[in-house]
Amino acid sequence: MSTYLICLTIIGIASLAMAWMPLLTEKTKISYAILYVIFGILLYLLLPSLPIASPIEYQNFTLHFTELVVIVSIMGTGLKIDEPFSLKTWLVPFRLITITMLLSIALVAFVSWYFFNLNIPSAILLGAVLAPTDPVLASDVQVGPPLDNEKDNTKFTLTAEAGMNDGIAFPFTWLALAIAVPSISLQEKLIDWILMDLLFRVAMGIFIGYSMGKLLAYLVFYLPENKNFIVIRDGFVGIAATLTVYGITEMLHGYGFIAIFVTAITLRNAEMGHKYHKKLHNFTDQIEKILVAIALILLGGTVVSGILKPLTFHWMLFGLLFIFIIRPLTALISMIGSPYHRNEKFAISFFGIRGIGSFFYLSFALKETKFDNGAELWAVVAFIVLASIFIHGISATTVINRLSGKYPHIEDIQNNDKT
């Protein structure tokens, strides 16, 4: 039997099943990601003729496929945020992508270097890879579609953090890459990293994202309504914009992840109440679900293919330490003094879900430069992502539903403080 036809059939069945997953998650309170990973494990056990699911052997495919999944997810994440952008109302997400991320990278790097004998470049890389929460697998803790008028601090904060922090983690991946190259002095490396990888690439991503968001808003909102121009109402524009913005930004050496999210937020804020945002988001969300279904099945396949073989008991303890201590602790520190209720803070700190973005960063770094312990790094990251899928996937829906609507929205708190 043709392996190609088997793969097409599996993709079709997995994509079709996604139509029922939201309802199943609502009834069982268990994330669909768990079911798809288990499905992937069973498929690879029962059908040994399937292509080997190994990110080490298929490095290019892993890199570009995870890249595609993440950029589509970032666009969808930005489009569904109903909260108008302002530094004041977005303060907590900004704290999470700065204070939490920096502390998390530093702690992971120190622990993995001091206790697990990773060299400094590998330790920094592990910190950078594990730093971002995932926009792909975190739908259970995020806001719903646009125009739902959902006022929920926890969901908003986790959604905004997931959209922003994938791009912010990139400079630290480049830092690990710079230090891993022995031919250049450390001083030269750090200067180049600060000027190029930290400042220029971030600024370029923000600039292109904002410019493209304004241009799209002009084309789809202003011209049709004010100049009798062609009305654009096709949902695929969201995906087209994603690919265009990402390609242009990366060619100009900016961070495409940042540019996509800024584009989505700029477009969303141009006409916050316009119904077209629903079409854009719905189409993007549908494409994302197909890609996620494939990614989760392949993740299950990597387990069968032996990605966890280099994993030791001590690295398993490290993974649990990261999920239960490092992420919650660093997030709680960043939220000191915020007006959120303590239960909201605990939920936000705990649900730092790890996923496809971590695989992208690791495959990117290992393709760019040779790191020691590459297989070990894959095993640790895969274990943490799998543990996150199961631990957060079982608890997320129940906890978030209990918090939903229970506490005053950040805007109401700020208004009360004024009065």
pLDDT tens digits, one per residue of 90-144: 999 999 999 999 999 999 999 999 999 999 999 999 999 999 888 777 777 888 8
- Residue 53 lies inside a defined structural domain of this protein: no
Average the pLDDT over each of 177-186, 226-235, 257-266, 324-333 and give the range with the smallest value: 226-235
- Residue 314 lies inside a defined structural domain of this protein: yes
pLDDT tens digits, one per residue of 137-176: 777 788 888 988 778 899 999 999 999 988 899 999 999 9
- Residue 54 lies inside a defined structural domain of this protein: no
DSSP string of 2-52? Answer: -HHHHHHHHHHHHHHHGGGHHHHHHHH---HHHHHHHHHHHHHHH-TTSPP
> How many angstroms separate the CA atoms of 356 and 309, rounded?
20
Closest C-alpha among 132, 350, 353 to residue 342: 350
pLDDT tens digits, one per residue of 309-358: 999 999 999 999 999 999 999 999 999 999 999 999 999 999 988 889 99
What pLDDT is recorded for position 240?
A: 95
Structure tokens given for 60:
């290019």
CATH of the domain at 365: 1.20.1530.20
> Domain count of the chain?
1
- Residue 6 lies inside a defined structural domain of this protein: no
**Single-letter amino acid code for the residue at 375:** A
Decide if 113 contacts 120 (C-beta within 8 A): yes
- Residue 85 lies inside a defined structural domain of this protein: yes
- Residue 78 lies inside a defined structural domain of this protein: yes
Structure tokens given for 146:
């646009």
Structure tokens given for 188:
């030269």
Decide if 142 contacts 348 (C-beta within 8 A): no
> How many angstroms separate the CA atoms of 355 and 102, rounded?
19
- Residue 270 lies inside a defined structural domain of this protein: yes
Integer angstrom CA distances of residue 313 from 116, 117, 129, 323, 380:
12, 15, 21, 16, 11
- Residue 390 lies inside a defined structural domain of this protein: yes
244: containing domain? 11-44+60-418
